[in-house]
Structures are given as structure tokens and as C-alpha cells.
Amino acid sequence: MRKKFSASLVALSFVLTSSITAVAQDANYSNKNALPEIGVVASDAISLDKEMIVGDAVMRQMRGQSPVISDPVLDEYLQDVGNRLVVHADNAKFPFEFFWVNNDAINAFAFFGGHIGVHTGLMRRAENESELASVLAHEISHVTQRHIARRMQAQQRSSPLALASLIGGVLIAMANPEAGIAAMQAGSAASAQLQIDYTRSNEQEADRIGIAMLARAGFDPNAAASFFSTMAEEYRMVSRPPARLLTHPLTESRIADARNRAGDYPRRYLPINKQFELAKARIKARYSFEPDYAVEYYEAAVEQNVQRSKEASLYGLALAYMRDDKTEKAKKIMDELIAGDSSNLFYLDAMTDIHISLGEPLKAVNLLKPHVTHNPRNQVLALNQANAYISAQNYDEAISLLKDFLLVNKDYQIAHQLMSEAYQKSKRFSQMHQSKAEVYALYGAYNRAVDELQYAYNFAGDDHLIKQRIRARIKQFRDQEERLERL
């Protein structure tokens, strides 16, 4: 779906980053411009309302151009870990959104409006959930302390949206280097990336606040130092460090300081976290490894029991078999796993895909039904059940479930895609085009969204109420574009 409008978004990214060279000339600051330590004072640089608007615009751009993963199971897991930290954060002014980027680099990044991206490569290298949480806590601290806004405040000659647009282009380069190179040529990419490098004081502040948050949330406060050490050791001999180390410089003194700060809190020896191991296995089997290698890797892991969690190894092997079109082998494994943990969302998701693949969608419906009844707005349960209903040609049930889900998850891409599919297969073309419009809007492609709504209008016939709603939505999309221009 991205490919249909990726060219226009590359052009947009190029426009947004056109001010890179001018801004880069001001990258070095003297001591007189040292930033204050209280994050909320940056409100005169950009208000919280505008920060939300700009963050939403950047997120839409990233969905369209970078390899953002739409995976309900992984999204649910990452959001859960993030939320467990956010409830212990100070100055959390808005809901946080955590998302995955399919990139093997060790990296994570934060930007306006509480958006935090995590590369799959970082998850692959993390040894335990506390190490993952230590990175999230650090990025949450950058947001709550408003470090980007404070940088803008110091950079008086740049308007808020000019720098925010610049950051948007650089974030895309970080998430997808190929797209970034296409959008930022002539040697400006390297200097542009420096624009979101945080000052040493910002990094120290984020480390300090993040480790305290980590401890309050019940994670091991020593995890930050241990993950720092892992990164430093892995890249000690390479000529070019990963993006994470370029944007978050890692020195021996910083590692030592993290260890010292962790010493202020009691050490926690936590057991192996099953959900973390399953999420890590899913990333390897579905996103990091090629299908053939994934099968070999997890067959060896199961045979040799090299993974810390046998269940995670079996789960990874089942996913690898599914990618390699060995569905019956996958089903045999998943039958065993789900018998021992019938409410596990990772397992329910895999079993749904297996039943649909085998042409048995009603088995998936019945498997999920009691769980959906208990928790109807859980994204894993609701979206899998909707997918199963569509496969069973029960479009009304799918649409009803998705409408309810979208009431509280209005920006969830897969839900709109499933809704569009259900409407298309049930030959409700006006509603189908309306759902497609919502998908395009999530990518920031408002012109394409308006086109879809105009198609929807033509299919609406004599239904004046639907036509009125479509006209209102067209106006909303155009107003959103104009609002960004006015900023």
C-alpha cells in the first residue's frame, strides 16, 4: 500500500529537509546558550498543542516512507512495556505512542507528541525486558523534559515548524537510511543528523531521569549500564558505530555514571520474562531472518535448547514454518503451546493465522470468541477476530467489531484496511472508499484521501446523510492540511 504514493512522500521529505544546510551551520552552541534543566520552560518555543500537531504530522510521514511495522501483537507488547514506565514519569502531558521500525540497527528515537520508535535490531540485542525498558525510559525522558523543544528555544533563528520538519526528515533517514539518502543528498545527511544529537547535559538528564523511572516501574535499574556495555563491546572495533551511538554518544564515563546511579536503588533479580522472549522470537522469525534461515535457526534452537525459553523457541519455529508454507507443522507446535497457555495473545494470533491458512476460519472465530467477549477492544483479539470473520464471509460481524474498535483506536491502520476489505467483499463501495480514505490520511496523503472520498460520494446514491458526512470529512482533511501550513 505504501508503494502507491511513496514517490510523493519522498518529494515531501525533500521539501521538509530543504532547510537542513542553513540550520546545520548553527549546530555548535556556546556555553551561554546552555539549556535549562526544567523541561516545561520550553513552552515559549512550541506549545504543547502545536507539539501534538507536529508530532502527528511527522508520524504520518513516517508511516508512509519508513518501514514502520503494523503488527498488533508486537504493538500490544511494546505499548504495555512503555505504559508501565509512563505511569511513573513526571511531566507526561499527553499519551505516548510506541511503535516498531523494521531495521536491524541498534536504535530508538523520540519526537514531538510522545512518539517513540524502536528498531527491531535493538530488540534483537536486548538480553532481557529491563534492557528494553531502559531504552524506552531514556526516550520517554527526552520527551517529558522537552529536549527537542528546548533545542528549538536555543536556536532562535529557526521557526518551530522549520526545525520540526527538519527533525521529521532526519527521523525518516534514521528509520530507513535508503529513503533518507534519496531525500537528503549532496552530503547534507550527515550534518542533518547532527541536528537531533542531544547535548551532553540532555543525555545525562535523560539517563538520570530514565534510571529513576526504571526503578520505580519495577525493572532492574542496572539494565541501562548493562545495555550500554553490550553496545560498546559490540561496536568497539567497527569504523562506523550504529545510529544509536551517533545520536546518543556513549563514553566510558557515561557507562560508569549509569552504574553509579543504579547503585542508588536496590538491584532487582527478575525472572526470565516470557512475553519478552516471545516478542523477540517473533521479531527474529518474522522480520529479521529470511524464511529458510529462520527454520534452520529455530529447529537448531529447539533441538539444542539454546534459547532461555523453550516455549519461545517453539513459537519462533512455528512462525518460521508458517512463513515457509509448512502450516501443518506450525499447527502441531501451536496446538501444544496453546494447550498450556490458552489466553496468550501471541499464541492466539498465530492460531488464527493457521486456521485461516488451512481454510478453517470458523475455528478461529470460535477460538477467539470467549476472549473477545471478555476484552472486546484489545487490538490483538479484535483484529484477529475481524480477520477471521472476513475469511468466513461474515462481513457484518467483522464490520460491527471494527467499528467498535475504531471508536477508541481511530488511527490504527490495520483496522481501517480490514474495514475496507470487508466493505469491498460485501460490495458496499461507498463505505469501502471511505475506509481507504482513512488509510491514506494516516500516511499524510490527504489529496489521495480526498480522491477516495469523492469516489465514495459518487457511490452514495440518494443517501443524503452519507453524502453530508463525506463532505464534512473532506473539509476536515483539507483543514488539516491548511492547519499545518499556518504553523
* Residues pairing with 119 in the sheet: 101
Per the listing, cell 464534512 goes with 472
Q: Is 138 annotated as contributing to ligand binding?
A: yes
- Residue 109 β-bridge partners: 117
Distance of CA 182 to the CA centre of its chain: 22
203 is an annotated ligand-binding site residue: yes
The question of whether 207 is a catalytic residue gets the answer yes
C-alpha cell at 482: 491548511
CB atoms under 10 Å from CB of 13, counted, come to 26
Helices of type H across 263-290: 274-283
Q: How far apart are CA 439 and CA 56, in angstroms?
A: 14
Identify whether 139 is a catalytic site residue.
yes
* Size (the chain), residues: 487
- CA dist 441 and 64 (Å) reads 10
User: What would the grid cell of residue 366 be?
Assistant: 470460535
| Counts for the chain of helices (H) and strands (E), in that order | 26, 4
Instruction: Give the Cα separation of 367 and 331 in Å (integer).
Output: 14
Task: Look up residue 271 and give its DSSP letter.
Answer: P
Q: Among positive and negative, which fits the CA dihedral 120, 441, 174, 1? A: positive
How many other CB atoms are found less than 10 A from the CB of residue 237? 6
3 state DSSP class of 124? helix
- Read off the amino acid at residue 196: I
* CA atoms of 392 and 169, how far apart (whole Å): 42
The radius of gyration of the chain from alpha carbons, rounded to an integer in Å, stands at 23
Q: Which residues pair with 5 in a beta bridge?
A: none
Residue partners of 71: CB distance under 8 A and separation at least 6? 100, 282, 286
Of 97, 129, 131, 139, the catalytic one is 139
Question: Coil, strand, or helix at residue 221?
Answer: coil
Residue 303 annotated as binding site: no
Of 73, 74, 1, give the one whose Cα is nearest residue 382.
73
Answer yes or no: are the C-beta atoms of 223 and 134 closer than 8 Å.
yes
CB 79 within 8 A of CB 264: no
Q: Show the CA angle centred on residue 242, arms to residues 241 and 244, nearest 5°.
A: 120
Asked if 410 and 379 count as a contact pair (C-beta separation under 8 A), the reply is: no
Three-class DSSP category at 132 = helix
- SS3 category, 68: strand
Q: Which of 76, 97, 207, 220 is catalytic?
A: 207
Residue 282: alpha-carbon gap to chain centroid: 15
Residues that constitute the known binding site for Zn(2+): 138, 142, 203
Residues that constitute the known binding site: 138, 142, 203
* Residues taking part in catalysis: 139, 207
